[in-house]
Amino acid sequence: MNIQWFPGHMLETKKLLKNSISKVDAVLEILDARLPVASENPLVNDLCKDKTRIKVLNKSDLADPVTTQNWLSYFEHHRKLPAIAVCGSQKNQVEKALQYCISQVTRNRARKVKVIVVGIPNTGKSTILNTLVGKKIAKTGNVPAITRQQQRTSLENNIDIYDTPGILWPIIEPQKRAFILAASGAISDTALDYSQIGFFVADLLLETYPNLLLERYTFLHHIPKDASDLIEKIGTARGCLNKGGIVNYQKSAELLIRDLRSGKIGKISFETPKDIESANETI
Protein backbone atom coordinates (compact mmCIF):
# COMPACT_ATOMS: atom_id res chain seq x y z
CA MET A 1 0.00 0.00 0.00
CA ASN A 2 1.33 3.41 -0.98
CA ILE A 3 -0.49 6.17 0.88
CA GLN A 4 -0.86 9.33 -1.18
CA TRP A 5 -2.06 12.33 0.80
CA PHE A 6 -1.07 15.72 -0.52
CA PRO A 7 -3.88 18.26 0.00
CA GLY A 8 -3.88 21.26 -2.32
CA HIS A 9 -2.82 23.69 0.39
CA MET A 10 0.36 21.64 0.88
CA LEU A 11 1.51 22.37 -2.66
CA GLU A 12 1.26 26.08 -1.94
CA THR A 13 3.01 25.53 1.39
CA LYS A 14 5.97 23.93 -0.37
CA LYS A 15 6.45 27.12 -2.41
CA LEU A 16 6.02 29.25 0.70
CA LEU A 17 8.48 27.12 2.65
CA LYS A 18 11.16 27.40 -0.03
CA ASN A 19 10.85 31.16 -0.07
CA SER A 20 10.73 31.48 3.73
CA ILE A 21 13.76 29.28 4.43
CA SER A 22 15.85 31.38 2.08
CA LYS A 23 15.21 34.41 4.32
CA VAL A 24 15.89 32.95 7.79
CA ASP A 25 19.06 32.31 9.78
CA ALA A 26 18.27 28.95 11.33
CA VAL A 27 15.86 26.03 11.26
CA LEU A 28 14.18 24.04 14.02
CA GLU A 29 13.24 20.79 12.26
CA ILE A 30 10.60 19.07 14.37
CA LEU A 31 10.48 15.28 14.19
CA ASP A 32 8.40 12.74 16.07
CA ALA A 33 10.75 11.06 18.57
CA ARG A 34 8.91 7.78 18.04
CA LEU A 35 9.70 7.81 14.31
CA PRO A 36 12.55 10.26 13.66
CA VAL A 37 13.46 9.09 10.16
CA ALA A 38 9.93 8.29 8.98
CA SER A 39 8.87 11.79 10.06
CA GLU A 40 11.68 13.51 8.13
CA ASN A 41 10.45 15.35 5.07
CA PRO A 42 13.01 14.98 2.24
CA LEU A 43 11.96 18.42 1.01
CA VAL A 44 13.38 19.93 4.21
CA ASN A 45 16.73 18.24 3.71
CA ASP A 46 16.91 19.70 0.21
CA LEU A 47 15.87 23.20 1.25
CA CYS A 48 17.99 23.50 4.40
CA LYS A 49 21.40 22.35 3.20
CA ASP A 50 23.09 25.70 3.83
CA LYS A 51 21.21 26.67 7.00
CA THR A 52 21.98 26.19 10.67
CA ARG A 53 19.64 23.39 11.70
CA ILE A 54 18.87 21.19 14.67
CA LYS A 55 16.78 18.04 14.68
CA VAL A 56 14.20 18.35 17.47
CA LEU A 57 12.86 14.94 18.49
CA ASN A 58 9.53 16.01 19.95
CA LYS A 59 7.07 13.83 21.90
CA SER A 60 9.97 12.14 23.64
CA ASP A 61 7.62 11.57 26.58
CA LEU A 62 5.76 9.04 24.38
CA ALA A 63 8.86 7.31 22.99
CA ASP A 64 11.03 4.49 24.30
CA PRO A 65 13.76 6.43 26.18
CA VAL A 66 16.53 3.95 25.34
CA THR A 67 15.70 4.05 21.64
CA THR A 68 15.54 7.87 21.75
CA GLN A 69 19.08 8.03 23.10
CA ASN A 70 20.18 5.73 20.29
CA TRP A 71 18.58 8.11 17.81
CA LEU A 72 20.43 11.10 19.23
CA SER A 73 23.70 9.21 18.83
CA TYR A 74 22.70 8.20 15.30
CA PHE A 75 22.12 11.77 14.17
CA GLU A 76 25.33 12.98 15.79
CA HIS A 77 27.65 10.27 14.48
CA HIS A 78 26.05 9.09 11.24
CA ARG A 79 24.33 12.25 10.01
CA LYS A 80 26.71 14.78 11.58
CA LEU A 81 23.71 16.83 12.63
CA PRO A 82 22.87 18.18 16.10
CA ALA A 83 19.76 16.68 17.67
CA ILE A 84 17.86 17.08 20.92
CA ALA A 85 14.95 15.17 22.45
CA VAL A 86 12.16 17.26 23.96
CA CYS A 87 8.64 17.22 25.25
CA GLY A 88 7.09 20.15 23.41
CA SER A 89 5.27 21.47 26.48
CA GLN A 90 8.46 21.71 28.57
CA LYS A 91 9.84 25.24 28.16
CA ASN A 92 13.36 24.51 29.41
CA GLN A 93 13.77 21.67 26.91
CA VAL A 94 12.43 23.59 23.93
CA GLU A 95 14.52 26.66 24.75
CA LYS A 96 17.70 24.56 24.60
CA ALA A 97 16.95 23.77 20.96
CA LEU A 98 16.27 27.42 20.16
CA GLN A 99 19.39 28.60 21.96
CA TYR A 100 21.54 26.19 19.98
CA CYS A 101 20.34 27.82 16.76
CA ILE A 102 20.88 31.32 18.13
CA SER A 103 24.42 30.43 19.25
CA GLN A 104 25.34 29.35 15.71
CA VAL A 105 24.23 32.59 14.07
CA THR A 106 26.78 35.36 13.54
CA ARG A 107 25.01 38.69 13.74
CA ASN A 108 25.01 42.30 14.76
CA ARG A 109 22.88 42.26 17.93
CA ALA A 110 20.83 45.11 16.54
CA ARG A 111 19.55 42.74 13.87
CA LYS A 112 16.82 40.24 14.60
CA VAL A 113 17.60 36.54 14.36
CA LYS A 114 15.04 34.74 12.24
CA VAL A 115 14.27 31.11 13.10
CA ILE A 116 11.77 28.94 11.26
CA VAL A 117 9.97 25.88 12.63
CA VAL A 118 9.39 23.17 10.03
CA GLY A 119 8.20 19.58 9.94
CA ILE A 120 5.50 17.23 8.74
CA PRO A 121 1.95 17.34 10.14
CA ASN A 122 1.27 16.39 13.75
CA THR A 123 4.84 16.51 15.04
CA GLY A 124 3.96 19.27 17.50
CA LYS A 125 5.36 22.36 15.81
CA SER A 126 2.60 24.64 17.08
CA THR A 127 2.88 23.24 20.62
CA ILE A 128 6.58 24.09 20.62
CA LEU A 129 5.89 27.60 19.38
CA ASN A 130 3.25 28.15 22.06
CA THR A 131 5.69 26.93 24.70
CA LEU A 132 8.42 29.31 23.54
CA VAL A 133 6.07 32.27 23.49
CA GLY A 134 4.45 31.36 26.80
CA LYS A 135 0.88 31.56 25.56
CA LYS A 136 -1.37 29.98 22.97
CA ILE A 137 -0.87 31.74 19.67
CA ALA A 138 -0.98 28.75 17.33
CA LYS A 139 -3.66 26.11 17.01
CA THR A 140 -2.73 22.66 18.26
CA GLY A 141 -4.38 19.28 18.20
CA ASN A 142 -4.12 15.64 17.18
CA VAL A 143 -5.43 16.30 13.67
CA PRO A 144 -2.71 16.72 11.02
CA ALA A 145 -2.39 19.94 9.03
CA ILE A 146 -4.11 22.22 11.56
CA THR A 147 -1.72 25.07 10.79
CA ARG A 148 -2.57 26.39 7.33
CA GLN A 149 -0.68 29.69 7.11
CA GLN A 150 2.76 30.88 8.08
CA GLN A 151 2.79 32.71 11.41
CA ARG A 152 5.49 35.07 12.69
CA THR A 153 6.03 35.86 16.37
CA SER A 154 8.57 38.10 18.06
CA LEU A 155 10.35 36.70 21.10
CA GLU A 156 12.65 38.35 23.63
CA ASN A 157 16.29 39.10 22.77
CA ASN A 158 15.47 40.27 19.27
CA ILE A 159 14.30 36.93 17.88
CA ASP A 160 11.60 36.33 15.29
CA ILE A 161 10.25 32.81 15.03
CA TYR A 162 8.12 31.49 12.17
CA ASP A 163 5.65 28.61 12.36
CA THR A 164 4.76 26.94 9.07
CA PRO A 165 2.11 24.45 7.96
CA GLY A 166 3.18 20.83 8.02
CA ILE A 167 3.67 19.27 4.61
CA LEU A 168 4.10 15.70 3.44
CA TRP A 169 5.43 14.65 0.07
CA PRO A 170 3.29 13.34 -2.81
CA ILE A 171 4.10 9.61 -2.66
CA ILE A 172 5.20 8.03 0.61
CA GLU A 173 7.50 5.06 0.16
CA PRO A 174 8.56 2.46 1.19
CA GLN A 175 5.38 0.83 2.43
CA LYS A 176 6.54 0.51 6.04
CA ARG A 177 7.18 4.24 6.25
CA ALA A 178 3.66 4.96 5.05
CA PHE A 179 2.23 2.61 7.67
CA ILE A 180 4.34 4.14 10.45
CA LEU A 181 3.21 7.66 9.54
CA ALA A 182 -0.40 6.53 9.40
CA ALA A 183 -0.18 4.77 12.76
CA SER A 184 1.37 7.84 14.40
CA GLY A 185 -1.39 10.17 13.21
CA ALA A 186 0.69 12.17 10.72
CA ILE A 187 -1.73 11.33 7.92
CA SER A 188 -5.38 12.29 8.03
CA ASP A 189 -7.58 9.43 9.22
CA THR A 190 -9.85 10.03 6.24
CA ALA A 191 -7.07 8.58 4.06
CA LEU A 192 -6.74 5.41 6.14
CA ASP A 193 -8.21 1.96 6.43
CA TYR A 194 -8.18 1.42 10.19
CA SER A 195 -8.22 -2.35 9.96
CA GLN A 196 -5.19 -2.40 7.66
CA ILE A 197 -3.21 0.01 9.86
CA GLY A 198 -4.42 -1.81 12.97
CA PHE A 199 -2.94 -5.09 11.78
CA PHE A 200 0.37 -3.33 11.10
CA VAL A 201 0.34 -1.83 14.61
CA ALA A 202 -0.55 -5.19 16.15
CA ASP A 203 2.34 -6.91 14.35
CA LEU A 204 4.74 -4.14 15.39
CA LEU A 205 3.75 -4.30 19.05
CA LEU A 206 3.81 -8.08 19.21
CA GLU A 207 7.33 -8.05 17.78
CA THR A 208 8.80 -5.19 19.81
CA TYR A 209 6.72 -4.56 22.96
CA PRO A 210 4.69 -7.70 23.78
CA ASN A 211 4.99 -7.18 27.55
CA LEU A 212 3.48 -3.69 27.29
CA LEU A 213 0.46 -5.26 25.61
CA LEU A 214 0.01 -7.60 28.57
CA GLU A 215 0.25 -4.67 30.97
CA ARG A 216 -2.25 -2.53 29.07
CA TYR A 217 -4.76 -5.24 28.22
CA THR A 218 -5.05 -7.20 31.44
CA PHE A 219 -7.62 -9.55 29.89
CA LEU A 220 -4.76 -11.05 27.85
CA HIS A 221 -3.51 -14.04 29.81
CA HIS A 222 -0.68 -14.67 27.39
CA ILE A 223 0.89 -13.00 24.36
CA PRO A 224 -1.46 -13.42 21.36
CA LYS A 225 -0.20 -15.69 18.61
CA ASP A 226 -0.58 -13.08 15.84
CA ALA A 227 -2.10 -9.71 14.92
CA SER A 228 -5.52 -11.17 14.13
CA ASP A 229 -5.62 -12.91 17.51
CA LEU A 230 -4.70 -9.68 19.33
CA ILE A 231 -7.30 -7.54 17.56
CA GLU A 232 -9.96 -10.21 18.04
CA LYS A 233 -9.25 -10.43 21.79
CA ILE A 234 -9.36 -6.63 22.16
CA GLY A 235 -12.62 -6.48 20.25
CA THR A 236 -14.19 -9.21 22.33
CA ALA A 237 -13.13 -7.70 25.65
CA ARG A 238 -14.02 -4.10 24.74
CA GLY A 239 -17.38 -4.81 23.13
CA CYS A 240 -16.42 -4.12 19.52
CA LEU A 241 -18.98 -6.62 18.29
CA ASN A 242 -21.48 -6.92 15.47
CA LYS A 243 -24.70 -8.89 15.63
CA GLY A 244 -24.18 -12.47 16.65
CA GLY A 245 -21.14 -11.58 18.75
CA ILE A 246 -18.83 -11.33 15.74
CA VAL A 247 -15.85 -9.06 16.31
CA ASN A 248 -15.85 -5.80 14.38
CA TYR A 249 -12.19 -5.70 13.37
CA GLN A 250 -12.44 -2.11 12.15
CA LYS A 251 -13.60 -0.79 15.54
CA SER A 252 -11.17 -2.99 17.45
CA ALA A 253 -8.25 -1.84 15.29
CA GLU A 254 -9.29 1.79 15.79
CA LEU A 255 -9.26 1.28 19.56
CA LEU A 256 -5.75 -0.20 19.41
CA ILE A 257 -4.47 2.69 17.27
CA ARG A 258 -5.92 5.33 19.59
CA ASP A 259 -4.40 3.63 22.63
CA LEU A 260 -1.04 3.65 20.85
CA ARG A 261 -1.20 7.31 19.84
CA SER A 262 -2.25 8.48 23.30
CA GLY A 263 0.55 6.64 25.06
CA LYS A 264 -1.82 4.38 26.98
CA ILE A 265 0.09 1.28 25.89
CA GLY A 266 3.37 2.76 27.12
CA LYS A 267 6.50 4.47 25.81
CA ILE A 268 6.95 3.07 22.32
CA SER A 269 9.24 3.79 19.39
CA PHE A 270 8.07 2.80 15.92
CA GLU A 271 11.56 2.48 14.46
CA THR A 272 15.18 2.19 15.59
CA PRO A 273 18.52 3.13 14.01
CA LYS A 274 19.10 -0.60 13.39
CA ASP A 275 15.94 -0.65 11.26
CA ILE A 276 17.35 2.15 9.11
CA GLU A 277 20.74 0.47 8.78
CA SER A 278 19.09 -2.79 7.76
CA ALA A 279 16.92 -1.02 5.19
CA ASN A 280 19.98 0.72 3.71
CA GLU A 281 21.81 -2.59 3.42
CA THR A 282 19.01 -4.01 1.26
CA ILE A 283 19.04 -1.11 -1.18
- pLDDT category at 210 given cuts 50, 70, 90 is very high
Q: Where are the alpha helices (DSSP H) in 139-222?
A: 175-184, 194-208, 210-216
Mean of pLDDT over the chain = 86
Q: What are the backbone dihedrals phi and psi of residue 153, each rounded to the nearest 5 degrees, phi first?
A: -135, 140
Half-sphere exposure of 134 (CA within 13 A, CB side): 4
Position with higher pLDDT, 227 vs 111: 227
Give the number of residues written for the chain.
283
Q: Looking at residues 203-211, what average pLDDT do you find?
A: 97
270 vs 255: CA distance, rounded Å: 18
Per domain, the residue ranges of the chain are 8-163, 193-282
Of 5-19, 154-168, 245-259, give the range with the top mean pLDDT. 245-259
Q: Which residue in 23, 31, 26, 18 sits closest to 186, CA to CA?
A: 31
Degrees, nearest 5: CA angle 103-107-111: 115
Q: What is the helix (H) or strand (E) element at residue 83, kind and residue range?
A: strand 83-85
Cis peptide before 174 (omega within 30 of 0): yes
User: CATH number of the domain at 8-163, please?
Assistant: 3.40.50.300
118 vs 204: CA distance, rounded Å: 28
Residue 145 confidence (pLDDT) above 60: no
Q: What is the pLDDT of residues 183-206, one digit of tens each?
A: 998 887 665 678 889 999 999 999
Q: What is the pLDDT of residues 12-57, one digit of tens each?
A: 667 777 888 888 999 999 999 999 999 998 888 888 878 899 999 9
68 vs 268: CA distance, rounded Å: 10
Q: Looking at residues 235-258, what average pLDDT do you find?
A: 94
Q: How far is CA 203 from CA 200, 230, 253, in A?
A: 5, 9, 12
Residue 211 buriedness (CB in 10 A; 0-12 / 13-18 / 19+): exposed
Residue 218 confidence (pLDDT) above 90: yes
Residue 106 confidence (pLDDT) above 80: yes
- pLDDT category at 237 given cuts 50, 70, 90 is very high
Residue 59 confidence (pLDDT) above 60: yes
CB 55 within 8 A of CB 83: yes
Q: Looking at residues 1-19, what average pLDDT do you find?
A: 61
Report the percentage of the chain scoring pLDDT > 90.
Answer: 59
Residue 283 confidence (pLDDT) above 50: no
Question: What pLDDT score was predicted for residue 279?
Answer: 66
Degrees, nearest 5: CA angle 192-257-86: 105
- pLDDT category at 108 given cuts 50, 70, 90 is confident
Report the percentage of the chain scoring pLDDT > 70.
Answer: 85
| pTM of the full structure | 0.87
What CATH fold (topology level) applies to the domain 193-282?
A: Conserved Hypothetical Protein Ylqf; Chain: A; domain 2 (1.10.1580)
3-state secondary structure of 266: coil
Counting runs of H as helices and runs of E as strands, what totals does the chain give? 11, 6
Q: Which residue in 55, 56, 54, 57 sits closest to 26, CA to CA?
A: 54
Position with higher pLDDT, 158 vs 277: 158
Q: How far is CA 36 from CA 41, 120, 142, in A?
A: 10, 11, 18
Q: What is the pLDDT of residues 114-131, one digit of tens each?
A: 999 998 888 999 899 999
Q: Give me the residues paired with residue 85 across strands.
A: 57
DSSP label at 241? B
Residue 79 confidence (pLDDT) above 70: yes
**Which pairs from 143-151 meet CB under 8 Å and 24+ separation?**
143/188, 144/185, 144/186, 144/187, 144/188, 145/7, 145/9, 145/10, 145/121, 145/188, 146/121, 148/9, 150/16, 150/20
Question: What pLDDT score was predicted for residue 10?
Answer: 55
